[in-house]
Structure 1
């Protein structure tokens, strides 16, 4: 497991299994881009060149989200990839999962590079590294990559081995076609329902492709912030406090539901017909429910430790087993590969479907949910009521001078051996009781510690989270005295 924050506190640089993120032109500099991209290309080419026909050059898929700084980072990255001997398949502004799908589908692809900082504020940017199987680099591969960067342990090939550059215009359509051609997607049925959907893509990469997908499914789309300008209309993380405009628009237009995606389009969050957020946990729950009810496939389901128990309950209903993993898409993906899981994801609105690729994908989530609702005569809020009901609360605190490992070690000592309590380590500490669970961990993507808890009552869930947050703050106060 790799996770570290470095650089100055004014301009943080996050280097972890989630890639590299920081402030553009401050901690994310041209010099840093060259080092990481060169090392990534060298790593992927040396590992996978042997798998290609001797006459074929390795290809690396390159795309970005809409952040303003993405343009210069993209140009630098393309030049470095070519200089390292890779043919560059340049897809422009597209979702991160589109890169994962192309890395998996294209025979000469040895990986993909995505320029994004996901849900971070607009001044942030970063790099995500994808392997030839469409999965993010494993923690072990990240270790190797970061050591190569630190030691400059990569070599540029000769001039004759330089790569080519191709503008690839078909990426979005390939992704849409892959989702809508699944055997259990009935376009005739979805078109018949003619759902009215309000879509908010926060001026990220998702506007054009999500609108096109929903229209292919027969939806009438009312767009908010669809232009991929990179100047985000609101704080980009798709959580309730940032979705007021979308909630109001759903009511104003008498829409059937609303959809919000984050800037790199791996998270999909739903708003019901009354303008109330469904809860990001219920995106995965609805997708799992549809998949198990619409197919005869049965097998493991994987999600992370911070995800709701609702998927556990749905899995039991269909005689399937649900497995928890550390937070981070690669951890869920690796477990899915290991267990040959049929579906999985993360409770932040991320759905992972091996029938397409093993990565969080808002297009997959939207496709499954539109198909689910097309076979249900009621509203989306009525469908939610048919599922197990849980309330999840998510709090966070700046790390500052705290030492998360010591805090969690103290928590473990306090709770270890208590009757009816299960402790899970490996990614912070999760405490399970019959009534609730709480998960405390250091973030991979922000310099914060997260406290996430769930109970059937929102009031109780908040009380539990605030209790543990108070203990963390008290520990912080004690150690700073």
Structure 2
């Protein structure tokens, strides 16, 4: 089984493509590309294998005289916040995000609290290859004891969010919102209910206990949120929140029990900051090429430029830093607020959405109905040739259209687009289309498929 590698990290099947020796080598390799001084933070989601991986990483780092600090089970954005705020040399989070529980993986956090970029990832791979495989198989200590710093780490992150300049904690509290949460039994199972309680909400939990049995398919997309939809209706709740197992993505279920789709999280967050905080209109909003036009139309309403990067959190973050952007994110439910830290954060997203409802005195369903309506459809094509062959052909065929080539090929028209790009993780070509109707979006995808047969 091939190990999946990209700027989003490393993922593999536990004990097949991902094994203890590999964990030790990557821990040491990451230390070698990190600043010489400072601790490496170690964290994980709720997969049982993560505890063993942390113990192995402690042992591997000790061998090269690198100190580590273990925060154990915390959301990935909490780990990012902690690395930056405490001045650590870097962080390693053992998570496979929304992959099934028989997978695990590694995300690497640089000293700025952001994921490492492509150049740093290339250096990591070089160091990994230079390390001997056999030396880690002898006397490997996977029974390391460590102090669990998770609660202090989570509380520091929540304190930061509750005291952000755009969050009015007292105003949210006055509403006494009733909120259902579905954390996929993942790393937000303590943090998300806690911040909601801190904001005066009555919290109803489903799938929100630390467990590698996620209770549902772990990606927080509408088809996986039927339990949450039902519970919102059953309890008469104001809103439902769902996260993925490592907590960087947030999806919303409205008060009528409708899963709104992960694109809406970023769109509503952008609407909130642009409407209520003029400083956000003075710099660009940043998202990626595959994010919905909904966010772009909202930005246009407030005469604010929206810029698009290649797909991938670090690509969005790099453009945010270059443009001094205050907010950005991706259409998978990932909100990035620079005032907190430069990483997608479901906890920040939840606080923003509650503040928006508080300010508007409207239900989340009514707010959703105010948004412009666009519909995204997605498909894939198995690659039999290099993706460059298909991209070149499509570029010639659509030469009269507005084209963006920074990440594959994006064909842009009024109120619709198609994005064709090679997957970072699989031998497939991803085709994503958006338009004013589901039927038109499907048609756009079929047109591309027919052209590259």
Give the TM-score of the pair, scaled to structure 1.
0.88
Equivalent residue for 2:82?
102
1:467 CA drift (Å): 3.2
Q: 2:101 aligns with which of 100, 111, 122?
A: 122
Equivalent residue for 1:226?
208
Distance 2:201 2:388 in 1: 48
Equivalent residue for 1:413?
396
1:296 CA drift (Å): 2.5
5+ residue gaps in structure 1? 1-10, 50-57, 157-162, 475-481
5+ residue gaps in structure 2? 136-143
1:310 has 2:294 as partner: yes
Equivalent residue for 1:64?
44
Tell me whether 343-352 or 166-175 shows the greater mean CA deviation. 166-175
Distance 2:206 2:451 in 1: 41
Distance 2:160 2:449 in 1: 43
Equivalent residue for 1:380?
364
Equivalent residue for 1:422?
402
* Superposition CA RMSD, Å: 1.9
Equivalent residue for 1:434?
414
Equivalent residue for 2:170?
188
Tell me if the contact between 1:88 and 1:164 (Cα under 8 Å) persists in the aligned partners: no
Q: 2:127 aligns with which of 131, 143, 148?
A: 148
Matches within 5 A, 1:333-352: 333-352=317-336
Change (3 A) 1:215 1:83: same
1:335 CA drift (Å): 0.4
Distance 1:62 1:408 in 2: 40
Tell me if the contact between 1:88 and 1:166 (Cα under 8 Å) persists in the aligned partners: no
1:301 has 2:285 as partner: yes
Tell me whether 238-247 or 94-103 shows the greater mean CA deviation. 238-247
1:103 CA drift (Å): 1.0
Change (3 A) 1:253 1:315: same
1:74 CA drift (Å): 1.5
Distance 1:400 1:411 in 2: 15
Tell me if the contact between 1:87 and 1:165 (Cα under 8 Å) persists in the aligned partners: no
1:320 has 2:304 as partner: yes
Change (3 A) 1:400 1:30: farther
Change (3 A) 1:447 1:234: farther
Deviations 1:13-67 (A, max 9, x none): 1111111111110000111111111100111034xx3xxxxxxxx1111100111
| Matched residue count | 441
Distance 1:427 1:257 in 2: 35
1:400 CA drift (Å): 5.8
Give the TM-score of the pair, scaled to structure 2.
0.93
Equivalent residue for 1:269?
251
Distance 1:469 1:91 in 2: 46
1:414 CA drift (Å): 1.4
Q: 1:243 aligns with which of 225, 246, 250?
A: 225
1:344 CA drift (Å): 0.2
Deviations 1:355-390 (A, max 9, x none): 000110000100111111111222111111222221
1:184 CA drift (Å): 2.4
Distance 1:221 1:402 in 2: 51
Tell me if the contact between 1:353 and 1:359 (Cα under 8 Å) persists in the aligned partners: yes
Change (3 A) 1:433 1:325: same
Equivalent residue for 1:259?
241
1:93 has 2:73 as partner: yes
Change (3 A) 1:219 1:470: farther
1:29 has 2:26 as partner: no
Equivalent residue for 1:359?
343
1:468 has 2:448 as partner: yes
Deviations 1:167-211 (A, max 9, x none): 324011011111001122112111111111111111111111101
1:115 CA drift (Å): 0.4
Change (3 A) 1:164 1:355: farther
